[in-house]
Amino acid sequence: QSSNSAIFCPTLSPERNKTRRKKNNNPGFVSEIPGKREKTERAGKEPEMAMARASSGLAYPERFYAAAAYAGFDGSPNSTAVVTSKFQSDTALLLYALNQQATVGPCNTPKPSAWNAVELSKWKSWQGLGNMVTTEAMRLFVKILEEEDPGWYSRASNFVSEPVIDMPVSHNSKAEHAVENGNALPETKTVASENGNVMETQDKDVVSEGLGSILVYDQWIAPPINGQRPKARYEHGAAVIQDKMYIFGGNHNGRYLSDLHVLDLRSWTWSKVESKVGAEPPESASPSILAPCAGHSVIPWENKLISIAGHTKDPSETIQVKGFDLKTGTWSMLKTYGKPPVCSLLMALWLFIQLIYARNVNFVYVPNMQVSRGGQSVTLVGTSLVIFGGEDAKRSLLNDLHILDLETMTWDEIDAAGVPPSPRSDHAAAVHAERYLLIFGGGSHATCFNDLHVLDLQSMEWTRPTQQGDIPTPRAGHASVTVGENWFIVGGGDNKSGASETVVLNMSTLVWSVVTSVQGRVPVASEGLSLVVSSCNGEDILLSFGGYNGRYNSEVNVLKPSHKSTLQSKIMETPAPDSVSAVHNATNATRDLESDFEVGQDSKIREIVVDNGDPEPLKSRANGNNENFLVTLKAEKEELESSLTKEKMQTVQIKQELSEAENRNTELYKELQSVRGQLASEQSRCFKLEVDVAELRQKLQTMEALQKELELLQRQKAASEQAMSAKQRQGSGGVWGWLAGSPGHRDEDD
């Protein structure tokens, strides 16, 4: 029997569970039938509760279509009038926007004229939903309708084909087996939109049995897991596609892995994917496609998993990009094109100047191509992958920047201005507003960092903004994921201990806050763990897996954050450059001049998304008359003119700073030339000294030979003198010798 109905709820109050609690062998878990999370404040309204339960049994998208038809969105010309007659104006506008978002998609129509207040209000309500997904818009539409008219389902029989009865959800065993083998995807329902796009949605009631069972906020929970768990590991890759979390590769006891596993988030069941290998290009001299690897990155893209970079036993010369097709279950090597990026001239000059002035700079390995690496960050920005840092096969740290276009598989050459982050690996990266790349933390061979760097992907300029709030401690090996404008960071370590706190950064305000902390050596306080996000019933769930904290882990932990993101992302305000901040301030000032009616609308939408509860009814505010509108336009014009004046002043200031920087650059260049000249003269003097030393050594060798000859002649001279002395002694015999006759004389006479 599957554990689809298990809910981990250690702090759930008895009052909320008295209508749906059952016995369970697993302590801390209670059972719940999908679609029966009624509000306790309506417990006395049994008929309305029955209708709500009946409507919740209708699966999406049918539930939404029935609700939309009941509300009056039937496509007729007078549908707007029908909706307005049933609901208050603010509720009608919100229902209109959600219906458009669910059936058409994000608003891409031109902005109506400011004199057409009705159409402008409708357009702003729709535009305010941003890129909200279709299924979320459907869910919010039904939720608001049930709040305004709890008994709508009992009166909507004309819009429902047949009654729906609550009953346990059963799964086809054959289909489930195919999913576990990785050869098939979950069955989806297609929703055709009016703008020609095709969007897919899954039955949220089924998903609610898994992720929907998480009820507590801001606490790490270990849900009940079925199936064969993957081998414990860290430095693996993870991604979520269609309510399934995929785990690939990693490091276990110093051995690289190449296995692929999938966790069904509906049933909390692990299964191993038996993957195949496609044909490699004949000219490929790279390692095998399924070579075990660790420190790589896995990115979900369309219906594929893309594995990029990573350490292998036999490293290649360049970054390897592999793809796993979820439909065919086949791995293939993806061929890339483009000119390899080269080192920036400014970057090289900066490094040389740092070395001249003997600053404490880490060793930098500047590649002239996309060298293979691990521990890098890979961030999906639109249709491109932004790759930063890491370390190569020789464990040399990197801080280079590469961009890979996934549509053309082409590498782009990047020459970013400003001071980049120091070389590092095992850091975290995220993108905000599809424009700003944020880099946090990481480590070198001896130091961990907690600095924050921002790269403007439009101007390609690095800045280091000021952080606020509870700034995290230095760490490396942490994992991160973004939810709207919130950036969650989990785990990591500082070469001494694991980071126990889970932190979140508001990327619009750059303010840190602590979500929760754990005690002891637990998996979420590990290095090299993975962190992904999935959603259920409009709420986001964080999932962590693996990691190393003295031992290798294979546990799955989940957290439902209470931090919610606003629907519209704000533009990040960074200290530098000042001109960008001025433009942002002017833009924010323009946004502040929206009508009071729109402010009320946006506030109600935020309450639904943030609190996911009963929003307090907001009073409708009428639009101002034409005179007030003109006054508002004049005030807006004055503010824009003031902002433009400030912008010009800041531009002049920036030009002055640029001129000063150029002067400093000129002085540094002159000093560099002087140092080069001194170095050349020193090299010439050293060469002359080496020549003189060689000549002296040759003369010394000659003097040694002469010394030996002199000693030989002296010995010969001494021998000759001794011989002469002996002869003289023999020749002097005296008178008696002369009388007697000397033998020597006889010899001479003879």
Does any domain span residue 145?
yes
CB 76 within 8 A of CB 185: no
- In one letter, which amino acid is 68? A
pLDDT of residue 334: 92
**Burial track 158-179 (b if 16+ CB lie within 10 A, e otherwise):** ebbeeebeeeebeeeeeebeeb
- For residue 93, report the phi and psi dihedrals to the nearest 5 degrees: -65, -40
Asked, for residue 218, whether it belongs to a domain, the answer is no
- For the segment 147-173, what is each residue's pLDDT rounded down to a tens digit? 888 777 766 655 554 443 333 333 333
User: With a cut of 70, which residues of the chain have pLDDT below it?
Assistant: 1-58, 74-82, 84, 154-209, 279-287, 339-370, 565-626, 732-750
**Contact between residue 493 and residue 485 where contact means Cβ atoms under 8 Å apart:** no
CATH number (domain holding residue 16)? 1.20.80.10
How many other C-beta atoms lie within 10 A of the C-beta of residue 493? 24
21 within a domain of the structure (yes/no): yes
- Parent domain of 188: 6-211
Whether residue 239 contacts residue 245, with contact meaning beta carbons closer than 8 Å, is answered with yes
Kindly tell me the number of DSSP H helices and DSSP E strands found in the chain.
Answer: 15, 32
Range 299-327 burial, b when 16+ CB lie within 10 A, else e? bbeeebbbbbbbbbeebbebbbbbbbbbe
Nearest to 530 by CA among 477, 454, 581: 477
Q: Specify the DSSP element, H or E, that contains 505.
A: strand 501-506
Q: Which helix (H) or strand (E) holds 29?
A: strand 29-31
Tokens 């009052």, residue located: 15
Tokens of 559: 């957290």
CA dist 574 to 50, 286, 444, 488, 489, Å?
53, 42, 26, 20, 21
Q: Which 8-state DSSP code applies to residue 498?
A: B
Taking a C-beta distance cutoff of 8 angstroms, is the pair 601, 257 a contact? no
Total domains, the chain = 1
Q: Is 117 part of any domain?
A: yes
- The whole-number pLDDT of residue 213 equals 78
Query: Are β-strands 276-277 and 330-333 bridged in parallel, bridged antiparallel, or unpaired?
Result: parallel
Q: Residue 40 domain-assigned?
A: yes
H helices of 57-116, in order, are 62-71, 79-86, 89-103
Which residues share a beta bridge with 503? 489, 514
Tell me the two tokens of residue 94: 């919100």
How many Å apart are CA 540 and CA 293, to the nearest integer?
30
Q: How far is CA 589 from the centre of its chain?
A: 31
| Helix %, strand %, coil % of the chain (to 5) | 35, 25, 40
Residue 281: C-alpha distances to residues 287, 298, 320, 327, 606 (Å): 12, 22, 13, 21, 51
Tokens of 346: 């400014």
Report pLDDT digits (tens) over 547-605.
Answer: 999 899 999 999 999 987 654 444 444 443 443 333 334 334 333 433 343 444 444 44
| Side chain identity, residue 229 | R
CB 502 within 8 A of CB 522: no
Would you tell me how many other CB atoms lie within 10 Å of the CB of residue 601?
25
Contacts of the segment 336-339: beta carbons below 8 A, 24+ positions apart? 336/404, 336/409, 336/410, 336/411, 337/408, 337/409, 337/410, 337/411, 338/410, 338/411, 338/412, 338/413, 339/411, 339/413
CB-count burial class (<10 Å; 0-12, 13-18, 19+) for 154 = middle
For residues 142 and 52, what is the distance between their CA atoms, to the nearest angstrom?
A: 10
* Among candidate residues 474, 505, 475, the one with its CA nearest the CA of residue 492: 475
Q: State which amino acid sits at residue 82.
A: V
Q: Cα separation of 369 and 342, whole Å? A: 6
Pairing status of strand 330-333 against strand 311-312: unpaired
Amino acid at 337: Y
Q: Is 647 helix (H, G, I), strand (E, B) or coil?
A: helix
Query: How far is Cα 479 from Cα 428, in angstroms, rounded to an integer?
Result: 6
Going from the C-alpha of 369 to that of each of 306, 343, 412, 416, 631, the distances in angstroms are 20, 9, 11, 16, 58
User: How far is the C-alpha of 552 from the C-alpha of 252, rounded, in Å?
Assistant: 7
Yes or no: say if 490 and 502 are a contact pair by the CB < 8 Å rule: yes
Neighbours of 292 (CB within 10 A): 19
User: H-type helices in 538-625, by residue range?
Assistant: 578-591, 596-611
With respect to residue 480, please indicate whether it lies within any of the assigned structural domains: no
What pTM does this model have?
0.51
Classified as helix, coil or strand, 221 is strand
* Per-residue three-class SS string for 257-278: EEEEEEEECCCCEEEECCCEEC
Compute CA 583 distance to the chain's CA centroid, rounded to the nearest angstrom.
27
Point out which residues pair with 482 in neighbouring strands.
487
Q: 6 — alpha (psi -120 to 50), left (phi > 0) or beta? A: beta
Read off the tokens for 65: 């279509």
Contact (Cβ atoms closer than 8 angstroms) between residue 665 and residue 350: no
Contact of 383 with 409, CB cutoff 8 Å: no
DSSP state of 593: T
Task: Evaluate whether residue 718 is within a structural domain.
Answer: no
Whole-number Å distance between alpha carbons of 367 and 493: 28
Determine the pLDDT at residue 67.
Answer: 86
Taking the C-alpha atoms of residue 620 and residue 89, their distance in angstroms, rounded to an integer, is: 7
β-pairing verdict for 237-240 and 436-440: unpaired
In whole angstroms, give the CA distance from residue 146 to residue 140: 10
In angstroms, the CA 184 to CA 181 distance is 8
- Check: CB of residue 246 under 8 Å from CB of residue 40: no
* Residue type, position 483, single letter: V
| Residue 537 domain flag | no
pLDDT at res. 625: 52
